[in-house]
Amino acid sequence: MKTQRTLTPWTIASFFAVPLTLVLSAAAAQAADGVVPPISVQVGVGYLTDSSARNAAGDAGLHAGLSYGLPNKSLLSTLHGKPSIDVDYNHTGGHGGRVDVLGFSYTERISVGNAVTDVVTSGARPYVGLGIGAFRTDVKRRTTTTTTTSDSGNPGSGNPGTIQTTSGTPGVNSQLTTTTTSSQSANGWSLGGKILAGVDFGKTYIEASYQIGGSKLGVRSDTANLSVGVHF
């Protein structure tokens, strides 16, 4: 039987630690040349948009992200675009199940309107963005099965993890109802992406995004996220 690997806290930490180490090393190297691409961290809430996912793991959970600004020009807008490598993580848990998503994407954020005027008049710069990359979906869901059988008067010892109830007179037109609860889990990688919009205030920013991940056990991991972030 194939063993399913889950996203443990240590696994998640290692996924963030490796790119963060590379990011800080690259930033330090470019700082020596006088160029420091921005590093951004955001945290907020993610809402599962699929009803099957909400039934399996609850409605909303944690969203966290790490972004490393690339020095090269944007592919979508050479004047106002800012490309980056993003790492996103979503965790939603409840109802005895969970949905975890870890994504790596190439993302571009493009300023909307006159960026200079926005900063001078209000200190805020609105932007929109698009990202595409690889997403790892990890789903665990609890299933409950109820079966009803005729009772011959010998209810038996039953099975661990089951709840048995008997209706009627034992041995005379009676029924045995058995409720069994079990868990299923699955994980894997898939192509995914995100669309986003936000407002940058210089040091901090607010960002809303819709993230499209994978599907496991009939559960889609798509989320609508709202986060606040800080530039370093």
Q: What is the pLDDT of residues 214-224, one digit of tens each?
A: 999 999 999 99
Q: Report whether pLDDT(26) > 90.
A: no
Does 15 share its domain with 88?
Answer: yes
Provide the 10 A C-beta neighbour count for residue 232. Answer: 11
Query: Does any domain span residue 191?
Result: yes
Query: Does any domain span residue 216?
Result: yes
Number of H helices, E strands in the chain: 3, 11
Number of domains observed in the structure of the chain: 2
Query: Does any domain span residue 112?
Result: yes
pTM (predicted TM-score): 0.71
Does 151 share its domain with 45?
Answer: no
Query: Does any domain span residue 2?
Result: no
Residue with tokens 């089951």: 162
Query: Does any domain span residue 55?
Result: yes
Cα→Cα distances 11→6, 16, 23, 102, 134, Å: 8, 9, 19, 11, 17
pLDDT at 73: 81
Q: Report whether pLDDT(32) > 80.
A: no
Does 124 share its domain with 70?
Answer: yes
Q: Report whether pLDDT(10) > 70.
A: no
Query: Does any domain span residue 71?
Result: yes
Mean pLDDT confidence for 87-105: 96
pLDDT tier at 38 (50, 70, 90 boundaries)? Answer: confident
Does 214 share its domain with 226?
Answer: yes
Alpha helices in 106-231 (DSSP H): 115-122
201 is written with which tokens? 């205030």
Q: Report whether pLDDT(203) > 70.
A: yes
Domain that holds residue 72: 9-28+36-142+183-231
Does 89 share its domain with 115?
Answer: yes
pLDDT at 189: 96
Query: Does any domain span residue 3?
Result: no
Q: Report whether pLDDT(118) > 60.
A: no
Does 128 share its domain with 86?
Answer: yes
What average pLDDT is seen over the chain? Answer: 80
pLDDT at 167: 54
Of residues 198 and 166, the one with the higher pLDDT is: 198
Amino acid in the structure at residue 189? W
Does 165 share its domain with 131?
Answer: no
Does 134 share its domain with 42?
Answer: yes
pLDDT tier at 31 (50, 70, 90 boundaries)? Answer: very low
143 is written with which tokens? 């299933």
Does 54 share its domain with 163?
Answer: no
Mean pLDDT confidence for 129-152: 85
89-125 b/e (C-beta count within 10 Å ≥ 16 → b): bbbbeeeebbbbbbbbbebbbbbeeebeebeeeeeeb
Does 208 share its domain with 104?
Answer: yes
Does 83 share its domain with 153?
Answer: no
pLDDT tier at 35 (50, 70, 90 boundaries)? Answer: very low
Does 160 share its domain with 175?
Answer: yes
For the domain that residue 74 is a member of, what is the CATH number?
A: 2.40.160.20
Of 90, 86, 87, nearest in space to 63 by CA: 90
Task: Write the pLDDT tens digit of every residue in 54-68.
Answer: 999 999 999 999 999
pLDDT tier at 97 (50, 70, 90 boundaries)? Answer: very high
pLDDT at 183: 86
Query: Does any domain span residue 1?
Result: no
